[in-house]
Amino acid sequence: MPGWAQRNPGITDLCADGTDIRLTDLAGRTVTANGSSFSAPSVTAAVALAQQEAIALRGSALTQDEFLSLAKQTGTPIAGTGYTDLDTQALLAKIGQLYGTTATPTVPDPTPGPGTGAPATTTAAILVNAKGTAAAGVNAHFTLLVDGHAVGSATVGAAAKNYAFTATVSADSAHTVQIQYDNDGFAGGQDRNLFVNSVSVNGHSYAATDAAVTYDKGALDGHDVVKGQSGMWWNGTLVVAADKGLFASQAQVAELQAGDLLGHAMSANAASHGATSDTTADAAGWTSELLPAFQYADHGLHAWQDAHDMAV
- Among 149-158, 162-171, 227-236, 272-281, which is the least confidently predicted range? 272-281
Q: Which of the four pLDDT bands, split at 50, 70 and 90, describes residue 121? A: confident
Is 14 part of a structural domain of the chain? no
- Among 82-86, 122-126, 279-283, which is the least confidently predicted range? 279-283
Which residue range(s) make up the domain with 293? 21-101+264-309
Are residues 57 and 100 in contact, defined by beta-carbon separation less than 8 angstroms? yes
**Higher per-residue pLDDT: 107 or 253:** 253
pLDDT at residue 20 greater than cutoff 90: no
CA of residue 84 relative to chain centroid, distance = 25
**Residue 100 has what pLDDT?**
66
Rounded Cα–Cα distance for residues 103 and 11 (Å)? 35
Is 71 part of a structural domain of the chain? yes
Q: Which of the four pLDDT bands, split at 50, 70 and 90, describes residue 210? A: very high
| Final residue of a structural domain among 246, 278, 297 | 246
Nearest to 147 by CA among 181, 109, 196: 109
Is 137 part of a structural domain of the chain? yes
Q: Are residues 214 and 290 in the same domain?
A: no
Q: Please give the mean pLDDT across all residues of the chain.
A: 77
Report the DSSP pairing between strands 204-207 and 175-181. Answer: unpaired
Q: Are residues 273 and 239 in the same domain?
A: no
pLDDT tens digits, one per residue of 273-303: 454 444 444 443 444 443 443 333 333 333 3
Q: Which of the four pLDDT bands, split at 50, 70 and 90, describes residue 178? A: very high
Q: Which of the four pLDDT bands, split at 50, 70 and 90, describes residue 160? A: very high
Q: Are residues 242 and 125 in the same domain?
A: yes
Q: Are residues 236 and 280 in the same domain?
A: no
Secondary structure letter of residue 213 according to DSSP: E
Q: Are residues 26 and 76 in the same domain?
A: yes
Is 4 part of a structural domain of the chain? no
pLDDT tens digits, one per residue of 26-71: 888 888 888 777 788 888 888 998 888 888 887 788 888 888 888 8
- Among 109-118, 209-218, 294-303, which is the least confidently predicted range? 294-303
**Higher per-residue pLDDT: 289 or 3:** 3
What share of the chain has pLDDT > 90, as a percent?
29
Q: Are residues 126 and 219 in the same domain?
A: yes
Is 177 part of a structural domain of the chain? yes
Please count the structural domains in the chain. Answer: 2
Range ranked top by mean pLDDT from 79-88, 182-191, 277-286, 294-303: 182-191
User: Which parts of the chain are beta strand (E)?
Assistant: 21-24, 30-33, 76-78, 83-85, 121-133, 141-146, 149-155, 161-170, 175-181, 185-187, 190-201, 204-207, 213-217, 225-227, 231-232, 236-242, 303-304, 308-309
Distances from the Cα of 124 to the Cαs of 69, 91, 116, 241, 245, in angstroms? 28, 22, 22, 13, 12
| Final residue of a structural domain among 201, 219, 246 | 246
